[in-house]
Structure 1
Amino acid sequence: MRKHILIVLLLIVLVIGGIVFWLTRPDVARVDLAAVTGPRPTISAPRKQLFPTIAVADAIGWPQGAKPIPAAGLAVDAFATGLDHPRWLYRLPNGDVLVAESNSPPREGGGITGWVMGLLMGKAGAGVPSANRITLLRDANGDGVAEQKSAFMTGLNSPFGMALQGDWLYIGNTDALVRVPYKTGDTKITAKPELVVKLQGGGNHWARNVIADPEGKTLYVTVGSASNIAENGIEREKYRANILEVYPAAKTFRVFAAGLRNPNGMAIEPHTKRLWTVVNERDMLGSDLAPDYLTQIEMGDHFGWPWYYWGGYPDQRVEPQNPALQEYSKRPDYALGPHVAALGLTFAGDAKLGGRFANGAFIGEHGSWNRKPVSGYKVVYVPFGDNGYPAKGAKPIDVLTGFLNKDGDAQGRPVGVITDTSGALLVADDVGNVIWRVRGK
């Protein structure tokens, strides 16, 4: 009898183990990554997951003397080292470069979701307290290396975006847009930040970017969603998954565009003066969905989140459904591939990296945590035409790679991208704690 009981128990354990394995096994991509890029990407059938695929690269940093690999005709060197999680960059009028050294604020809640996010942040090198600092870098002699590195502002709350408008420098804290007076050449700000507008904080997406509109009257601020697909209730997503237009004189704002799960980098296209952004799309539909994207933004746009992705494909997991929105969900302009975590964005503008990189968008892809094989972990360039849109048939061109070593570990992860006064490209690497400088040979 005892033998029979043991056999039954063993069978039960094997069945339960098989079920757990089936539910938690990683989803492997079935579509070539290149096919899920461009203006008309392959949108395959969703493969809903009860548990996410976890395939984030372990963060190890750069070995002594190592650096990323630039595209042919380009060279790369360190502009500044020894930083603490550098995420975002901003160039001041005199050429000084501000770096937001920042990380996620302490996350709320626990349970399985909290445990998974803690695990992922630790593996990705993000599970450390935020420095809450903006650092000033100055290359006074123009040799491509910042010889001055000093604390510009401290005591912030997970700062990210920075923008100068008039005599004010605006900073996107995770829970507020604030400002301080600034004069060209200032190397340290001691003034107490003034509140412009409060922003929704907490949740999954903490980074708040800010840029000034070309006419100098308003500012655009990104606020990512608190969740993957509003699984905690759409009421928790008020004024989130949005780009807000802020009126600093009145200290008010309105929703400029909505349905953007996690917009991050923003930039003004030089020919048309229109606003563009890069967006991180939803998770747990498999390794082939949904593509992150680059798109132009106009007042009143809605890109479908959480109900729809890529211009009207329904996400059946979202309840209640919203069928009336489907025909009004705007299709993005350009897919960057699934789960690449597109964060940084700047247009070539005054870049001097050769004719191949003279008109288009540079994008920092932080890299996937939930795709097999991994995607992103590089800086890419999307060629544009003179009409202010991606060139017909253009695919992303690798500008800076090698952030993953041969074992698949992350030596670095690119985030913010800007140009310096010489026309070189600066790239914030928040795992390597370096600002890389990419120049023409």
Structure 2
Amino acid sequence: MRPLHAAALALALAFQAAPAGAQQQQTGPDPTLPEPRRGLLPDMTIPRPTGWNDARPTVPEGYAIQAIATELRIPRQTLLLPNGDILVAEGSGGKQAPTVRPKDFIAGLIKNLGKSPVPGGNRLTLLRDADGDGTYEMRRVFAENLNAPYGLALVNGRLYVANQDALVRFPYRDGQTEASGPPELVAALPSEINHHWTKALAASPDGAFLYVGIGSNSNIAERGMMAEQDRALVWQIDAETGAHRPFATGLRNPTALAIQPGTGQLWAVVNERDEIGPDLVPDYLTSVREGGFYGWPYSYWGQNVDPRAQPQDPAKVAAAIRPDYALGSHVAALGVGFSTSAMGERFAEGAFVGEHGSWNRRDPVGYKVVFVPFRDNRPAGPPVDVVTGFLDGEGKARGRPVGVTVDPRGALIIADDLSNTVWRMTPSR
């Protein structure tokens, strides 16, 4: 190992072993925001992987959970097909992003400590439970040779896949078990550097448009604003022609998108900025307004100015929209799915959120699936822990939840990209 790398690794491990600090929870529509705290390096601790062995996630009384697929290759998001089949997007991207500061190199070392060593599959895998008994006895590669696929949507007989560099589509007929050929390009997506590589995807209720979440190319524009062209936003793409335009901007990393049933409203979970303390800035769940600006990089949680973004833009700050609901700082929300009454009275109205878990605070947070209750189509009340146990009693990580998908027949599908498992939680019958 080169001396510079060895020294950086030693420093990273020192931060990994740092004693735990106080934890401040901030959730809901009006979180308490402490004063920013900056230092040479942010607090960095990531739980080391340990595997599930004979354990499984913990779910509320009256519910059961089981693994329906294991030994996958970095499952990230899932899609429920009309006949009940499940498609799993497997992949990992963004590896070409160069470091611009020594702290970026160290942060990369820390993050890698919490990842699966399995290479990304660059494929879609289909799971089928033909007899409806909860066991998915068929598993088949639906499509391969993709480029870090992430977002999935089925619209008017076409399966759309958001790779890290392009939105593509396949023709799809009900019950199909593998793609009939290579995909068709719909639109190229911003992919230079790809600091945040995931491309979230949702379709409008009428299928006319696709919405793609595109993350920033930095934490706080340290690569310059030219590197942020067409980044930190949601694109609206014409499903037929591929023509696109910005739908909403200033969203640092919109990692999952969903359409709210009954209203047609687009919602997103967004990962916020780092390096100003363990309790700043809250990641959030928000409705996404057409033409709206959500602050990044100039401000956070509405109009709280971030002086690190230079040059500043007071007009942008004044226009910044306050998000709807804080999930807590650094929980790394990567999945969102609206529930149905089939999930039981406790979870009948609201959204499940997959929290991948922190790397940049001493006390880890996230590493679970929570439920945000809604009333009158808006978040109402504190989040409820639903699927936990991803951290064991020694603080090691058995798994890390990513995408969450609700089966309207009564199941929650959870992609776990550390143990390479897909879990299925159901109400006990």
TM-score normalised according to structure 2 size: 0.92
Say if 2:398 is the partner of 1:411: yes
Aligned equivalent of 2:298: 307
Question: Which residues in structure 2 correspond to 1:37-52 (within 5 Å)?
Answer: 37-52=27-42
| Contact kept? 1:304, 1:329, Cα under 8 Å | yes
Question: Which residues in structure 2 correspond to 1:100-115 (within 5 Å)?
Answer: 100-110=89-99, 112=102, 115=105
Q: Return the match for 1:32 from 5, 19, 24.
A: 24
Aligned equivalent of 1:17: none
Aligned equivalent of 1:68: 57
Aligned equivalent of 1:170: 160
Aligned equivalent of 1:377: 367
Aligned equivalent of 1:11: none
- Bigger Cα displacement from structure 2, 147-156 vs 112-121: 112-121
Aligned equivalent of 1:354: 344
Question: Which residues in structure 2 correspond to 1:66-145 (within 5 Å)?
Answer: 66-110=55-99, 112=102, 115-126=105-116, 128-145=118-135
- Bigger Cα displacement from structure 2, 111-120 vs 300-309: 111-120
Report the 3-state secondary structure (helix = DSSP H, G, I; strand = E; otherwise coil) of the residue aligned with 2:45. Answer: coil
Distance 1:252 1:113 in 2: 38
Question: Which residues in structure 2 correspond to 1:160-309 (within 5 Å)?
Answer: 160-201=150-191, 202-309=193-300
Aligned equivalent of 1:432: 419
- Bigger Cα displacement from structure 2, 333-342 vs 195-204: 195-204
Distance 1:408 1:50 in 2: 26
Q: Deviations over 1:178-232 (max 9, x none)?
A: 1111111110114121111111113321111111101221110010011101100
Aligned equivalent of 1:59: 49
Aligned equivalent of 2:8: none
Give the Å deviation of 1:337.
Answer: 0.3
Give the Å deviation of 1:107.
Answer: 2.5
Report the 3-state secondary structure (helix = DSSP H, G, I; strand = E; otherwise coil) of the residue aligned with 1:70. Answer: coil
Q: Deviations over 1:75-134 (max 9, x none)?
A: 211122221211110011111100011112432335735633541342112455321010
| Contact kept? 1:362, 1:380, Cα under 8 Å | yes
RMSD of the TM alignment (CA)?
1.9
Report the 3-state secondary structure (helix = DSSP H, G, I; strand = E; otherwise coil) of the residue aligned with 2:386. Answer: strand
State percent identity of aligned pairs. 47
Distance 2:245 2:65 in 1: 41
Distance 1:84 1:197 in 2: 26
Letter in 2 for 1:135: T
TM-score normalised according to structure 1 size: 0.90
Distance 2:118 2:231 in 1: 25
| Contact kept? 1:208, 1:223, Cα under 8 Å | yes
Distance 1:414 1:180 in 2: 27
| Contact kept? 1:96, 1:136, Cα under 8 Å | yes
Q: Structure 2 unaligned segments of length 5 or more: list them.
A: 1-10
Distance 2:391 2:22 in 1: 22
Letter in 2 for 1:54: M
Give the Å deviation of 1:422.
Answer: 2.8
| Contact kept? 2:87, 2:125, Cα under 8 Å | yes
Letter in 2 for 1:78: A
Give the Å deviation of 1:145.
Answer: 1.6
| Contact kept? 2:336, 2:354, Cα under 8 Å | yes
Which has the higher Rg, Structure 1 or Structure 2?
Answer: 1
- Bigger Cα displacement from structure 2, 130-139 vs 318-327: 318-327
Question: Which residues in structure 2 correspond to 1:316-395 (within 5 Å)?
Answer: 316-349=307-340, 352-385=342-375, 387-391=376-380, 394-395=381-382
Q: Deviations over 1:156-183 (max 9, x none)?
A: 0000011111121110000111111111
Give the Å deviation of 1:421.
Answer: 5.1
Aligned equivalent of 1:8: none
